[in-house]
Structure 1
Amino acid sequence: MMVGFDRVVNRFYSFIWKKQTYNKVLWSELDSNLLGEIYCRLTSPTDQTRFRAVCKSWLAVHPVSNTTSLAFLPWFIGFSLSIASAHNRLDFILYEPSSRLDATSVHTVSLTKLSIPCPPAWNEINAEVVNNWLFVCTRRTYRSSFYRRNFVLFSPFTKQVIKLPQSDHPLPFKFRRTFSTDPNSPDCVFLLLDAACPNSSTIRIMTYRNIDKEWTATQFERVDEFIPCSCVPIYIQGKFYIVSPFGQVASYDILNGRFRFENIAIDNHLAQNYSSLNYLVFELNGDLMLIYYLGSLKKNNHNIQAKPCIKRFDWSIKVWIPVISLGDQSLFVGKNFWSVQ
């Protein structure tokens, strides 16, 4: 049976009040062991998130060992882009693991209030989860041969909306977007990457910091051996990493603005299955990782997704090494998953 946040907290607080009649206890001064006991009785990820949002001392509480495994499962976010283009708003629905098919919460972001013109077609709106924020991009044709892009970040837990500067670029550019750290931090670097155009000899990167007034664009020469790619850059210790579908690795250093091809050698297994390859790059415990699927299998006239393969990039020999097991960790693949912990 799930225990409500208010019920658990009030029970413990009532107990403390009776013991200390003359000295009122502040919420932020509750004993850490007591807070841990409260936290472990909250079986709903929604209540656990609210618990950590009370104050800094509650945020620092480490759950005890018997905390339910539900707390470590990601949330799922769903949205309808067709509705967005029709009503000039973005509607998001959050699903927590314990709620199954029931929506935990529904959120609406008005593009009109943000002075963002909504595109006329649903395929000109793109939204995905990046570092536990919903990163939204809308685009409209501008001056016949340009796209004007608007960017918005939204956090359903704090209801915070961050609007980034718009950008105007020629139609062929196809940007992937991400950012380095907390988007509220002055050190956060927002990054747009275009490395997917097969006919281009350059890789284009645009960066923005909270102290800037507009995006800064930089172009780098692409070596012929590096295969164009459309993966989302992965941030690890001061660098954004880009991985081609052949396993080649490039990096962009946010401190000095240097772009470097770390490895242009081809992973033969990836290259041989390029036509049916679906892959995703991610970070795990500081390592650069990729997971890929080699097409689909057919069983009883039904298409079944092939078994995924995971590899880790070994920096000492600059080769992708197969990963047999993730140990006690689980990997949830997709752009709509949201980690609460």
Structure 2
Amino acid sequence: MDWSDLPSELVITIAGNLTEFTDHLRFRSVCSHWRSSFQSHSLSLPRQLPWLALPSTSSPHFYSFSEDRVYSSPPAVVANNTNVLGSASGWFISVRGRDRHITFSLINPFTGVSIGLPSPDPYSSLFYAAADTLVWDRSDSAVVAACSTRLGVFHCRLGETAWVLIESQHYHMASSITFYEGRFYILQDDTCETVVLDGETLQQITVIDAPHLDSPVEAHLFVSSGELLLLMKSTWMYLFPDSDSQFYKVRRANLNDELVEWIEVNDIGDRALFVDNLHCFSVEVGDHSLLRRNCIYSAQSKTSGGPRNSSRTYSISIFDLKNNNGERLGCALNKFCAASLRGVVSPPSWILPSLS
């Protein structure tokens, strides 16, 4: 009997005994019968830890946090010379090309699904959103994106042929975009106001006032368990880029309150935050022995070497909010070194893997 001849009930039984996400990926790749059997039944996949996309000269590599392993053979859906920017939804936006030939795609590297997105208008600010400046998130029907260094926020409904500028007097430069329970939350870089859009109509619902900030910071906005959280990186981090001591603060606001009020906190409960250059999301620690509660996992990269032969190394630092100290995480990622394109700055990007 061939593997493809196994009854669907037996195939589902096999899949139900798999505990690792990568085992599910290998299971799906055996044959079309196994893949369709997997998709046609509701399987309770184990809760996943984030993966990290590692840009390099040819195509991204991936680091699995739970396996402590770097995968050097990226999925086929990720084309060569592609920069990918992840999200908590399990999807990437891929950015390819340069000059006047920029293309965007929405891809899930774990399922092989790719959805073409319109190329940005060369005369719009979105056109200048390179791999180190594009902030974005998606709903089931639309993508909202912006260049973090230029004015303007844009949306594209899946299947449409053009990006549309979202007009609002509150839009300046968006430094963070996140989608949560039917709404997009867009953080403005210069004012730290949060513009809230309806996920279906993409119309503005409200504007949440900015918290009081003592000094200029880099901030990331995200939503977790009905709370709006603002992760702030002190400018001191840029004066000491090689230090393991990170400088983070968190402000929290309850979205259910009639008057949204920002409060600084040093305990976010049984959660861990994962942050890179462009976005942040939270993960419930639960019984994950690899994670520390109330900590921030920050991904960094460093380029070294000459202009013709440069390389990039990656690392993860952990910052404890309660104790206010940080350390470099010892892991297999520290031994990985990738060739780096001259003049291209592509940050590592966290993603929560998904098969949906």
- The TM tier, using the shorter chain, reads 0.5 to 0.7
Q: Of 73, 77, 86, which residue of structure 1 is paired with 2:53?
A: 77
CA contact (8 A) 2:91 2:107 kept: yes
Tell me what 1:95 maps to: 63
The alpha carbon displacement at 1:209 in A equals 2.0
Relative to the length of structure 1, the TM-score reads 0.62
Q: Of 177, 182, 195, which residue of structure 2 is paired with 1:233?
A: 177
Structure 1: gaps (5+ residues):
1-9, 11-16, 18-23, 64-70, 85-90, 113-117, 119-124, 143-147, 182-186, 198-202
Q: What's the % identity of the aligned pairs?
A: 19
1:326 match: secondary structure: coil
Which of 101-110 and 210-219 deviates more? 101-110
The alpha carbon displacement at 1:35 in A equals 6.8
Tell me what 1:20 maps to: none
2:267 match: secondary structure: coil
What per-residue deviation string (whole Å, max 9, x for no partner) do you get for residues 210-231 of structure 1? Answer: 3423333342223xxx7x4332
CA–CA separation in structure 2 for the residues paired with 1:140 and 1:330: 36
The alpha carbon displacement at 1:111 in A equals 5.9
Structure 2: gaps (5+ residues):
29-34, 280-348
CA contact (8 A) 2:49 2:66 kept: no
CA–CA separation in structure 2 for the residues paired with 1:259 and 1:158: 33
What per-residue deviation string (whole Å, max 9, x for no partner) do you get for residues 224-267 of structure 1? Answer: xx7x4332311123221112345321122243342355134x42
Q: Which has a greater percent of helix?
A: 1
CA–CA separation in structure 2 for the residues paired with 1:339 and 1:300: 29
Counterpart code for 1:152: S
Counterpart code for 2:184: F
For residues 49 and 35 of structure 1, do their structure 2 counterparts lie closer, same or farther at Cα, with a shift above 3 Å needed?
closer
Which structure is higher in RCO with an 8 Å CA cutoff and minimum separation 6?
2
CA contact (8 A) 1:248 1:263 kept: yes
The alpha carbon displacement at 1:301 in A equals 11
CA contact (8 A) 1:45 1:96 kept: no
For residues 192 and 35 of structure 1, do their structure 2 counterparts lie closer, same or farther at Cα, with a shift above 3 Å needed?
closer
The alpha carbon displacement at 1:46 in A equals 0.9
Q: Does 1:340 align with 2:319?
A: no
Q: Does 1:328 align with 2:328?
A: no
CA–CA separation in structure 1 for the residues paired with 2:262 and 2:73: 41
Relative to the length of structure 2, the TM-score reads 0.60
The alpha carbon displacement at 1:129 in A equals 0.7
Which of 133-142 and 99-108 deviates more? 99-108
Q: Of 166, 180, 191, which residue of structure 1 is paired with 2:138?
A: 180
CA contact (8 A) 2:51 2:64 kept: yes
Tell me what 1:87 maps to: none
What per-residue deviation string (whole Å, max 9, x for no partner) do you get for residues 145-199 of structure 1? Answer: xxx5310223222222222121213265555453433xxxxx51012335754xx
What per-residue deviation string (whole Å, max 9, x for no partner) do you get for residues 292-336 of structure 1? Answer: 122337999963443422222233222222333233222222262
CA contact (8 A) 2:118 2:160 kept: no
CA–CA separation in structure 1 for the residues paired with 2:165 and 2:186: 17
Q: Of 68, 80, 85, which residue of structure 2 is paired with 1:128?
A: 85
RMSD: 3.8
1:332 match: secondary structure: strand
For residues 74 and 172 of structure 1, do their structure 2 counterparts lie closer, same or farther at Cα, with a shift above 3 Å needed?
closer
Counterpart code for 1:239: R
Q: Of 61, 76, 83, which residue of structure 1 is paired with 2:44?
A: 61
CA–CA separation in structure 2 for the residues paired with 1:320 and 1:290: 9
CA–CA separation in structure 2 for the residues paired with 1:195 and 1:103: 30
Paired positions, count: 263
Tell me what 1:3 maps to: none
Q: Does 1:149 align with 2:107?
A: no
Counterpart code for 2:167: Q
